[in-house]
Structure 1
């Protein structure tokens, strides 16, 4: 004799709701008591929910992406005396037990089995409960139930937020464990190839990276709006920035430089050259200091070309110029051969051309390293996006007076925030920290430039 029994979520502790991240059984499976049915995940851990009752799975009430609470129905089983027994049969016994029940009354069970054939589709179960799942497509992924991707709960959650199917990600951790970096690498590779499968994928089907579509919103229904087309510069720079952010593994090192004495020198030079019409900005000193740092750390003056690192023996420094139509990056060529006054004059001229929209393509090409300065606006630090094919960029924020301990007392010093973004494929964290520290030392005592 058989009956239909609902299997529900048991006590899950202090959590009101948990996410369903894996379905371990399918409609038609014969399950035993204490067999794992689904895997759920909270913010802290994942756990498998076991069956309280054995039998044949008739309907699934949940799917991947659903949220469940204690008492929620997971599935319904058709239980009989053998399946209801608390003792779990051996694997061989379970294999023989599955056909044993219908064998007793073949004529009665054949028709219901045929009628139930289309039932495994998860959509009807979702519709019956009124739930929708943002990852419904992954509930039907052709992944062996006992060969699921090896990843921690936090990585699984991270992948779901990005819309990544972990079955398509190759793990680089111990025993092929998938890490967060593996997920990031998969996303970047997928975007770089226009959504195609990443190079080297061994999974069948060739399914590529999938994200939620860009939201379509009728903003006018909420209030008055104005549609303004992007400028040509923003369209071009936006596409480049997007590519650079996606393709380059950015890391940013933040430091500060004591520019108290350098600011005094800058003001002195401006006073001396006022009649000549030359205005020295902090950017001119930064360019010279960056050139000296690039000479000491040549990997920062390089570009990736496939498997080769191209080291450059020239020093063309770009700087971000703010214009009414967007940011452009003029380039000071051969900055190592120019003095501070000459660099100050050239940056002023290039910035004026940029504002007037008269920069030529040649004046924006060939850069080795870029500087983005927000000193005239504000901020404490930020993450500038690397200007490919360069491997690093320096961000500079507004300087401020701060108390600095000199070993005996606190002294007021003018401190300049430095934010160095670097390509982690080429530069490691220790090298970036040394570069920033060396640059800060040059700015603190500009006499070191001549050494």
Structure 2
């Protein structure tokens, strides 16, 4: 180790390997003192035979670093090494260990500092990802790439403002959108959401639904055909009776759970590109046909914009149904003060293994989001499993 004017330095990089061919003035190691880091050059050309140090070691002047087989006769070796060290020390002083406006020490090797000078990058603006927040080559490259991207975006924005090619239009949010948006935002940031996903074979249920509708199509007392959603609402009501924790809410101070003795299920629906959540009251006390008639009536009121406050309050659980639109799974946002919400996506025909062969089955995706402060993962898994079981064979509903 040559004399670099520092009593003791730490080795932060070893730049060569055993049996590696090296040239005079090639960097061997990088060391760091209290205020500088420096690359130590080789005073000879040859082959590295043994390395005596490791990263993290503290070394002093004349400490043995490595042993090499020297190539032939070396002229002016000592003077060349001294000149290179002086050059490195001079450049280090020019760089300064403190390069940020806040006078925070910047850890970077001479190689990285030279790269930053070449690219005209201030090291104080670069976030280091190495040990002790040391700036690495890849940090410089990442910063350079980000500068290119930001410059491109800025140029595109300027170009867009200078032409009429990219026109925009501002649309005012409706009062309902503002209200719903604010509620969703508050629910998302205040409730620790977890979403449990599942899918259920509803082939048997769909056959029963079609058979029921076929038998009732000539019955004038029946207003309309039953949809899968009605069965889902009925099944959820049954599951809420078995798992009352899902039919609860937290007190305002988050210290008590309120278990509700009624089962009112809200159904999130899209009407004319607006979100409504009408609530069906006492679902567990009504049959499938009654629920279907009530939902049709309330949907019609929504389309006519005749829903009042009582139609959309007092809910204890919500179902968000996107089955009529498409998609597979999604993470619905809980409708506070409720503690859970079930998302329904579009059912699709998929191959299902019955133990002997693959058969076509109608598969319904389910997404259950729940408040993790109230409900744990095991309860959520049991709850959605029960729903899946009931939907796969509606006969279980009478057991």
Normalization by structure 1: what TM-score? 0.56
Task: Name the counterpart of 1:190.
Answer: none
Match of 1:340 in 2: 288
* Residue 226 of structure 1 pairs with residue 169 of structure 2: yes
Q: Distance in 1 between matches of 2:167 and 2:37?
A: 61
Report the CA distance between 1:385 and its aligned residue: 0.7
Corresponding residue number in structure 2 for 1:72: 112
The match for 1:254 among 197, 200, 222 is 197
Aligned length: 295
Q: 1:365 to 1:129 in 2, by over 3 A?
A: same
Give the unaligned 5+ runs of structure 1: 14-24, 35-47, 75-127, 136-145, 149-214
Structure 2 partner of 1:280: 226
Instruction: Give how far 1:363 is off.
Output: 0.7
| Distance (whole Å) between structure 2 residues aligned to residue 68 and residue 302 of structure 1 | 57
Are residues 431 and 69 of structure 1, via their aligned partners in 2, closer, same or farther at CA, if it must alter by over 3 Å? farther
Secondary structure of the corresponding residue to residue 369 of structure 2: strand
Counterpart Cα distance in 2 of 1:229 and 1:68:
51
The answer as to whether partners of 2:99 and 2:123 remain within 8 angstroms in 1 is no
State the secondary structure of the residue aligned to 1:230: coil
Where does residue 372 of structure 1 map in the other structure?
320
Name the structure 2 match of 1:191: none
Distance, in Å, in 1 between the alignment partners of 2:393 and 2:314 is: 30
Describe the superposition over 1:265-300 as per-residue Cα deviations: whole angstroms up to 9, x where unpaired.
211222233343222111110111001111111111
After superposition, the Cα gap between the structure-2 partners of 1:3 and 1:12, relative to the gap in structure 1 and judged at 3 Å, is closer
- Which residue number corresponds to residue 116 of structure 1? none
Aligned pair partner of 1:239 in 171, 174, 182: 182
Alpha-carbon distance, 1:223 to partner: 1.1
Q: Pick from 362, 366, 381: which aligns with 1:414?
A: 362
Q: 1:415 to 1:71 in 2, by over 3 A?
A: same
1:259/1:71 CA distance change after superposition, 3 Å: same
Matches within 5 A, 1:358-369: 358-369=306-317
Report the Cα distance in structure 2 between the residues aligned to 1:67 and 1:231, rounded to whole angstroms. 53
Note the C-alpha offset of 1:372: 0.7
Structure 2, unmatched stretches of 5+, are 17-31, 39-54, 62-88, 115-119, 134-152
| TM-score normalised by L of structure 2 | 0.63
2:83 aligned residue: none
SS in 2 for 1:71: helix
Deviation string 1:72-93 (CA, Å, 9 cap, x unpaired) is 349xxxxxxxxxxxxxxxxxxx
Q: CA separation in 2, counterparts of 1:227 and 1:369?
A: 35
Tell me the distance in 1 between the aligned counterparts of 2:353 and 2:280. 37
Structure 1 residues 307 and 271, CA gap change in structure 2 (3 angstroms):
same
Aligned to 2:291, what secondary structure does the other structure show? helix
Deviation at residue 318 of structure 1 after TM alignment:
0.4
Aligned to 1:268: 211
1:323 lines up with 2:261 in the alignment: no
RMSD value over aligned CA atoms?
Answer: 4.2
Residues 167-204 of structure 1: CA distance to partner in whole angstroms, max 9, x if unpaired? xxxxxxxxxxxxxxxxxxxxxxxxxxxxxxxxxxxxxx
Q: Are 1:8 and 1:72, in contact at CA under 8 Å, matched by a contact in 2?
A: no
2:45 counterpart residue number: none
CA distance in 2, matches of 1:349, 1:53: 88
Equivalent residue for 1:61, pick from 99, 105, 123: 99
Q: Work out which of the two has the higher radius of gyration on C-alpha atoms and give 1 or 2.
A: 2
